[in-house]
Amino acid sequence: MFEGKNGKSHNEFDDLGDDHISTSAETPMRADAFKLSTEDKIKTIENAFEHILHTLGLDLTDDSLKGTPRRVAKAFVNELFSGLNPDKKPRLSTFDNNYKYGEMLVEKNIVLYTTCEHHLLPIIGRAHVAYISKGKVIGLSKMNRIVDYYAKRPQVQERLTMQVVQALQEALGTPDVACVIDAKHLCVNSRGIRDIASSTVTAEFGGAFKNENTKKEFIDYIKLETDFNLK
């Protein structure tokens, strides 16, 4: 059994998770996080999840269930939490802003799938990202990829929003980056209060986006209809 920091009780940790509180802007990682190979991690998780399903009383000899521990382990390591591996971080190649575009660039409605780190249940939503160039521009798909990279780990929505902004600020060499995320948390929708209608909105505004007029312009762009009926 792993003990938490600051001597917190189990009840206090339950409350922390139910209140969706983040303890850091950085994903909490151990120094030996990559000591095990990918296959070793899959095998270890497979064994652990087999024990979990067995404890729940499920018959793992049934054809439908016998492959589940392995499938879950592979999904955890190779897909859902692959963003924990820094080797998976997309290369954020930038280019000189030769056409001297000086207004904000907004990439909105980026589909977002991540996992609540408190209950390991899905968070599904959309991210809206913007920046104002200070001499560098970045490929549009890279903005989607950086959202996806940080989403593929156990997350808290506030932290995810900040990580996206910080990564793009570093790549572009400008503080003028913003991100808004609107998402539904299945840990709220499917358990606990079971409120299926609510969503959570978080925002991080850097540099010029802290100016109220610039912030309003960004929010107005997000509100624009983008259904082009492409088929």
- Residues 103, 68, single domain; the answer is no
Of 5 and 112, more confident = 112
Q: Is residue 229 part of a domain?
A: no
Same domain? 52 vs 120: no
**Per-residue b or e along 54-63, where b marks 16 or more CB atoms closer than 10 Å to that residue's CB:** eeeeeeeeee
- Residue 4 domain flag: no
Q: Which residue has the higher pLDDT, 201 or 21?
A: 201
Confidence grade of residue 8 (pLDDT, cut at 50, 70, 90): low
CATH, residue 173: 3.30.1130.10
Least confident window among 52-61, 63-72, 181-190, 191-200 = 191-200
pTM for the full model?
Answer: 0.87
pLDDT at 197: 75
3-state SS, residue 138: strand
- Does the CA dihedral 144-149-150-152 come out positive or negative? positive
Say if residues 228 and 197 touch (Cβ distance below 8 Å): no
Residue 49 lies in a domain: yes
Residues in contact with 186: Cβ distance below 8 Å, sequence separation at least 6, in sequence order:
116, 121, 122, 123, 124
| Domain extent for 70 | 33-80
Angle, CA of 75, 196 and 229, to the nearest 5°: 75
The answer to whether residues 53 and 99 belong to one domain is no
Bridge-based pairing state of the strands 122-132 and 104-116: antiparallel
b/e burial code for range 103-135 (CB count within 10 A of at least 16 → b): ebebbbebebebbbbbbeebbebbbbbbbbbee
In a domain, 25, yes or no: no
Q: What is the CATH number of the domain that holds 55?
A: 1.10.286.10
- Residue 78 is classified by DSSP as I
Are 49 and 131 within one domain?
no
Within-domain flag for 27? no
How confident is the model at residue 51, as a pLDDT? 98
Catalytic residues: 116-119, 157, 185, 187
Q: What is the mean pLDDT of residues 211-223?
A: 97
Residues 6+ apart with CB under 8 A from 68: 49, 53, 60
Give residue-wise pLDDT tens across range 117-155. Answer: 999 999 999 999 999 999 999 999 999 999 999 999 999
Q: Of 80, 113, 147, which residue constitutes the final position of a domain?
A: 80
d(CA 3, CA 86): 26
